[in-house]
Copies of this chain bind each other. A is one copy, B any other.
Amino acid sequence: MNTRTRDRILKAAEELFAEKGFDGVSVREITDRAGSNVASVHYYFGNKKGLYLAVFRERMAQRAKKVQELFWKEIGDDPTPSAEKIIKTLARAFLKSPFSKKERMLHHKLMAREANRPTEAYSIFHKEVIAPFYNALIELLSPYLPEGLSRQDRVLYVLSIIAQVMHFNLARSMISHITGQPYTDRFIDRLVNHITRFSLYGINYRADR
């Protein structure tokens, strides 16, 4: 198995799928960017759908786990982190993860695609990666949430935070139009601070109560 060719195809496929969607990209476009033959997709992945599934299994899951690792590493040493630390770390893990801006972007794009219209690729990904992370976040945030909420109510708070991260990433073009700001590092820093502040107040936790 020549993993180099296979990896080049995976990389090109991930980029193009995120950018244009499954139907927006042709196999030839992928193999051209990867510098391989059209037939190589069949050779390594069976068919186009198999390639899409592989992108999810081997690239998305990996990346999501890395984001989570980063989150836990920053939280890690603190047994009972403050609400501010949890939220800021969460926003940063998503918006300033250890990937290039391009990589982070395409990760979120594919996530959004699947959260909306899940393919077969998603169910395992959800069970193994998404769900455990959400559950852990709920545990972590619970002490700071209004009392007496059901689990279903508490998860909404986590979703409100994630919602902002996702939207500020995915609606970049519109947001740049409306704010007049390009997505520079400085602007992203400002977004992280805004999301943190908004969400911290959003959960309505006050240390002085």
Interfacial residues, chain A to chain B (CB-CB below 8 A): 19-24, 109, 112, 114-118, 126, 130-131, 134, 152-153, 155-157, 159-160, 162-164, 166-168, 170-175, 177-181, 190-191, 194-195, 197-199, 201-204
Q: How many copies does the complex hold?
A: 2
Residues of B within 8 A of A159 (CB): 167-168, 171, 175, 178
Q: Given A155-B179, A203-B201, are A195 and B160 also a contact pair (CB < 8 Å)?
A: yes
A63 to B166, CA, bound (A): 24
Asked whether A118 lies within 8 Å of B174 as measured between CB atoms, the reply is: yes
A139 to chain B: closest CB distance in Å?
14
Residues of B within 8 A of A201 (CB): 201-204
* 15 cross-chain CB contacts under 8 A: A21-B24, A24-B24, A109-B116, A112-B170, A116-B171, A152-B179, A152-B181, A155-B178, A156-B190, A157-B198, A159-B168, A159-B171, A160-B194, A167-B167, A199-B202
